[in-house]
Amino acid sequence: ARAFSSCHSLDLEAARRKRIEAVRGQILSKLRLSAPPSDPPPGSAFPIPEEIRALYNSTQELLQQRARSLPPQDPQDYYAKEL
């Protein structure tokens, strides 16, 4: 019966690879690139300027201070209330 069948078996792995390549192509197209950018060598991270690092750290400290100063929310405030 298999010899007379005109249906081909579906290779799910091949279909998955084709879909991944199609999505990669779409992403590259949106970024207007012809090929993916090369990966930088490990350990050669872009240095962050000290001003940016200081701004980030001060923002994090401010957010932590605000979170500590806020009173804990009452669980009843979560539920709808009748007027």
pLDDT tens for 32-45 read: 998 888 876 676 67
pLDDT of residue 47: 80
* Residue 19 within any structural domain of the chain: yes
Identify whether 18 is part of a domain.
Answer: yes
Q: Examine residue 75 and state whether it is found in any structural domain, yes or no.
A: no
Reported as a pLDDT band with limits 50, 70 and 90, residue 5 is low
Q: Is residue 29 part of a domain?
A: yes
How far is Cα 9 from Cα 1, in angstroms, rounded to an integer? Answer: 14
Is a pLDDT exceeding 90 seen at residue 69?
no
The answer to whether the CB of 19 falls within 8 A of the CB of 26 is no
- The boundaries of the domain holding residue 18 are 11-35
Q: Would 81 be classed as within a structural domain?
A: no
Give 78's pLDDT tier (boundaries 50, 70, 90).
Answer: low
Domain-embedded: residue 3: no
Nearest C-alpha neighbor of 24 from the set 15, 35, 14: 35
pLDDT digits (tens, 9 = 90+) for 17-64: 999 999 999 999 999 998 888 876 676 677 888 999 999 999 999 999
- Number of folded domains that form the chain: 1
Pair 31, 39: CB distance under 8 Å? no
